[in-house]
């Protein structure tokens, strides 16, 4: 289920809770909603609201940090690819074949990480094996002078760093958020909004405010889920810098 679909589902559940609160307000005896009972309901709602706000803030901070770290890794991966290509270009004619292989590897990396087409995209194991072949071929180069020796050494360092970042991105889960966190948070939100609807007689102003508050809560869930999926959805990390990092030979 996508982040948009989940957010719409959350909005629907909260609206159902509001409707249930309005119905309970009309059906429960007045003594259940006044006096000490009313005070207990307010305290319980405040407690759950505080926990919900804390969990929401923690989830947002965690997913935001993860998203930024992933974005930085993609940027570093792009920089390593460009640097490796330049090193192979400076190496001379022996590096042409490796530059061609590097371009094929970049296409495979993009297809695997962003899952462009599951039917044709190589698996992480296949992409990693291809990258390992490039690293092996790079090590087998026979430098003819100190300049080529220096270029080969630097290219080996860059290619190893590239492979490490690549494996880290492959291991990134498609949904880094634990579903129980979101489920419990949604249940808390339903309780909170149901309690709000029970606290006063329903009227147009109150229902409008509750609707926009429910929309805001669902939007917060949407943002958290989007940030938790950096390679999918509307807020995904862009692939264009890496996809078009190398010009055709």
Query: pTM value?
Result: 0.79
Cβ–Cβ under 8 Å, residues 124 and 170: yes
Percent of the chain with pLDDT over 90: 29
Interatomic CA distance for residues 171 and 228, integer angstroms: 14
Q: 189-214, pLDDT tens digit by residue?
A: 999 999 988 888 888 888 999 999 99
Interatomic CA distance for residues 235 and 48, integer angstroms: 30
pLDDT category of residue 27 using cuts at 50, 70 and 90: confident
Contact residues for 19 (Cβ-Cβ < 8 A; gap 6+)? 197
3-state helix, strand, coil in the chain (%, to 5): 80, 0, 20
């Amino acid at each position: 289920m996508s982040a948009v679909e989940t957010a719409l589902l959350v909005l629907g559940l909260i609206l159902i809770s509001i409707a249930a609160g309005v119905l309970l307000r009309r059906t429960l005896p007045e003594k259940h909603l006044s006096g000490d009972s009313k005070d207990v309901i307010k305290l319980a709602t405040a407690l759950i609201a505080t926990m919900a706000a804390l969990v929401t803030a923690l989830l947002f901070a965690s997913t935001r940090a993860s998203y930024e770290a992933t974005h930085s890794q993609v940027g570093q991966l792009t920089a390593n690819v460009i640097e490796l290509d330049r090193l192979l270009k400076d190496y001379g004619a022996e590096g042409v074949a490796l530059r061609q292989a590097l371009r094929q590897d970049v296409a495979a990396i993009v297809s695997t990480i962003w899952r462009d087409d599951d039917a044709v995209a190589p698996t992480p194991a296949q992409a990693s094996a291809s990258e390992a072949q490039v690293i092996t071929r790079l090590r087998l180069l026979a430098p003819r002078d100190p300049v080529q020796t220096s270029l080969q050494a630097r290219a080996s360092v860059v290619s190893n760093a590239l492979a490490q970042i690549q494996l880290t991105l492959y291991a990134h889960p498609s949904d880094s958020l634990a579903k129980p966190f979101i489920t419990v948070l949604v249940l808390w939100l339903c309780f909170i909004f149901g309690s709000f609807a029970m606290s006063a007689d329903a009227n147009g102003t109150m229902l409008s405010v509750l609707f926009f508050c429910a929309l805001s809560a669902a939007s917060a869930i949407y943002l958290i889920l989007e940030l938790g999926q950096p390679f999918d959805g509307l807020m995904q990390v862009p692939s264009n810098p890496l996809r078009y990092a190398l010009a055709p030979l």
